[in-house]
Every structure is written in structure tokens, then in C-alpha cells.
Amino acid sequence: MEYSYIAYNKDRSLIKGKITAENETAARKLIDFSGFQLISLKSNSSFINWKVLNTNVGGVKPKEIIMFSRQLALLLESGTDIITALELLQEQITDKTLRNVLGDITNDIRGGSSLSSAMSKHPKIFQNIYYKAVAVGEKGGNLETVLRHMAEFLEKQSLTRKKIKGALSYPVIVSVVALLVVGVIVVFVLPTFIDLYASLSVEVPAILTVLLAFIDWLKANFLLVLLVVLAIAGVTFAYIRTEKGRYRFDRMKLKLPVIGRILQLTELSQAARTISMLFGVGLPLPEIMNLTIGTTDNKFVEESFEKVQRDLIRGEGISKPMRKNKFFLPLMVQMVAVGEGTGHLDSTLVTVAESYEMEADDRTGAAVGLIQPILTVFIGLIVGFVAILMVSTMYSMYGQF
């Protein structure tokens, strides 16, 4: 439950704030523990807790977290204490969900929690990588540096996802348009010509007759076909939801021609940046591998890193386990070995990430460039096929007359 309070601080200055507690007694204890002299306490409860609802339903865009991280780092560097910095940012942030979350974090810190502990209560807003890195920064006294590293990491991550999403959306749109064009020709154009030829008692080519018979059958049994398609899709979806099915599906995606290599490069570049960032802030390697595993949605990739983690705990390092798995490309294995030898694993993995991101961009651009002419040729073949049928039928009609 949330409470608003008015109190005096240690300097006898009047302050206002909000605090979250189970009941009024707990709220008073938290305020007393913070060293404030309470004047008034008021419950903000309502039949529907819209603040909690907004926090749970609404998401926060990555750019908001990136901007927050940089601004908080700047305020802390200027000597502003953490509570004042959070209050200033809370007033400036336009995103309602993030503003509410910052209010909760500020209240938790007033109650004696650390920043990382307060952030850990909001995993949908702050990833586990984020608040664990912040915890390391708090212990090491370099919180500002950690926040800047996190901002750069999230910015690169967001940029990579946007590129992949933008690159894949174009082929999907073009493919849909191509299918619509072919559908219109087959379903509407061909039957019109067939009716015309039938009225003139012209013999229709056998291949066109078969095609139209199939279209008629499809129209007559549309519901049955639709149910079969939905049933197959449902069974496939249910299988993919299982652990074994998801693993096979994710592994299959990485083996697809053209796209598989792009997905592999994207996964490896993201992992390289994650390890580099966490190593740079001072987390131990076993914990780094554990957090890296949590950044991927691909079960095959997850298993690959779990194997590396197990061998790492046995004392084999990182490069040696990676060398056993074909998922890890030679450049990454070699650069990790160099980083382990020199102690600069963070800088070598940044090089790997940049190299793989560049290759993924090049391959994505080439794939997108190939899709348009392929679809153009496909549509051209369909149109040409229809045109040839029409012309041959017309010649047949002229012969009969």
C-alpha cells in the first residue's frame, strides 16, 4: 500500500514524499528508520491501484532507460546524492510507468534499500543484468561508470534489434503483396476469361481446366481446408511450446540458408557485448556466463553457453569450451583466448561484436537485395504463364472459327 507523508529531515527542512508499506504501522517505522520526524501520513489506496496496474501493463521503451541511465550518471558525477537525483529525474521523465517505478525505488532507498535491490523489484523495467551490474558499481564505488556502460550496452542492443526488425519487415511486406497479386490473378482474372471462352464454345487448354477445377474444389471445401491448416498450425505451435520442440525449432532456425547465418552472428555479437560489459564492470566470469545465458531467447544458444559455463566452473576457461562447439565461430574463439591471456577480455570481445554486427548488416542487406528480384521473377512467371494460356486459347478460338 502506498502512503504520502510530510516530515522534517535531519536539517529541520520540511519534505514531502511517498512510501510503500504493508500497513500504516510499517510505514511509520520506515520513516522513523530513515531519520525523519513524521508530521502527517496519508494512505493513497483506492479500489483499483492504477499505479500498479500501469506498471504491470505498460512497458518502458529502451530509449527511456538509456536516457535515465545517462542522466543519473551525470547527476551522481556532479555530487548529487542518489535520492535527490532520482527525484529530479522523476519530475522530468514523461513515461508514466517509469516515473511510478522511480517513485517506488526512491521510497525503498529511503527505507534503507540499495539502488540495485530496489531495482530488482521491477524486473520488467530493469533487466537482471542491469541491477546486478549496478550492485557491482555500488560495491566498487564506480556506479557512474557502470551506468554509462549500461546505457551504451542497451543502446547497441536496441539498435541491433531495430536493424534486424527493419530488414525482415521489408521482405515480409513484399512477399504478402506478391501472394495477393497471384491470388487475384488466379481467383478473379482466370475465371472471367474461362466464362468468356465457355460462352463462345471454345476448347480450354487441359492445364487451365485442371487449375480451375482445383480452384473450384478449394472454394467448395474452404472451411475444411481452413480447419486442417489451423489444426496443423495448432499442433506445430503446441509442439514448439514444449522444451524439446522449442530446442529443435531454435536449432533449425540457425541452420536456415542465408537467415541462419545472420541469426547466429546476431546472437554471438549480443553475447560478446554482454560479456564485455559485465567483465568491464567487474563481475566474476561464472556470474557473467549465467547472465549471458539469460539474454537469449534461443534454447540452442542457451544450451551452448550453459556447456561453456559448466566447463568454466571446472577450470577450463572460456575459449577452450567454445572451441568444442561449432556454434562459436573461429574469430570469437581466438579473440576470447587472446583476451584471457592478456586480461583484456572486454576490449577483445567489443572487437568481436563490432565485426559480427558489420557482417550481419552486410549479409542482411544482401539478402534483402536478392528478395526483390526473386519475387519479381516469381510474379513475372505467374503472369507469363497466365498470358500464354490466354493467348493459346485465343489461337484455338480463331482456329475454330
Taking only the tens place, the pLDDT of each residue in 305-334 is 999 999 998 888 899 999 999 999 999 999
8 A C-beta contact, residue 296 and residue 270: yes
First-to-last C-alpha distance (Å) of the chain: 90
| One-letter amino acid of 108 | D
Integer Cα distance of 340 and 317 in angstroms: 8
Rounded to an integer, what distance in angstroms lies between the CA atom of residue 305 and that of residue 300?
Answer: 9
Most distant pair of Cα atoms in the chain: their distance:
109
Give the residue ranges of DSSP H helices in 34-127: 50-57, 62-77, 82-92, 96-110, 115-119
Rounded to an integer, what distance in angstroms lies between the CA atom of residue 300 and that of residue 253? 10
Decide if domain 160-401 falls under CATH 3.90.1150.10.
no
CA distance readout (Å), 286 to 274, 283, 308, 309, 334: 13, 9, 10, 6, 20
Q: Please state, rounded to an integer, the average pLDDT across all residues of the chain.
A: 81
| Rounded Cα gap, residues 268 and 283, in angstroms | 20
From first to last of its 401 residues, the chain has per-residue pLDDT tens of 667 777 777 776 767 777 766 567 767 777 776 777 776 777 765 444 444 444 444 468 888 899 999 999 988 888 888 888 898 888 888 888 888 889 889 988 888 889 988 998 888 888 888 888 888 888 878 888 889 888 888 888 788 777 777 766 767 777 787 778 777 777 777 777 666 666 666 666 677 677 777 777 877 888 998 999 999 999 999 998 898 999 999 999 898 887 889 889 988 998 898 888 888 888 888 888 888 888 788 899 999 999 999 999 888 889 999 999 999 999 999 999 999 888 888 899 989 988 998 888 888 878 777 777 777 787 778 777 777 766 776 666 565 55
Cell numbers given for 192:
472471367
Q: What is the dihedral of CA 132, 136, 139, 142, to 10 degrees?
A: -130
Listed in sequence order, the DSSP H helices in 282-344 are 285-293, 299-313, 319-323, 330-342
Kindly report, residue by residue over 245-279, the tens digit of the pLDDT.
999 999 998 988 878 898 899 889 988 988 888 88
Q: What is the DSSP string of 312-329?
A: HHTT-TTHHHHHT-TTS-
Distance from CA of residue 12 to its chain's centroid? 48
* Neighbour-count burial of 81, counting CB atoms closer than 10 A to its CB (0-12 exposed, 13-18 middle, 19+ buried): exposed
| Residues paired with 329 in a beta bridge | none
Domain positions in the chain are 1-45, 160-401
Helices (H) and strands (E) in the chain, counts: 18, 3
Helix (H) or strand (E) holding 7: strand 2-8
Q: Residue for cell digits 500500500? A: 1
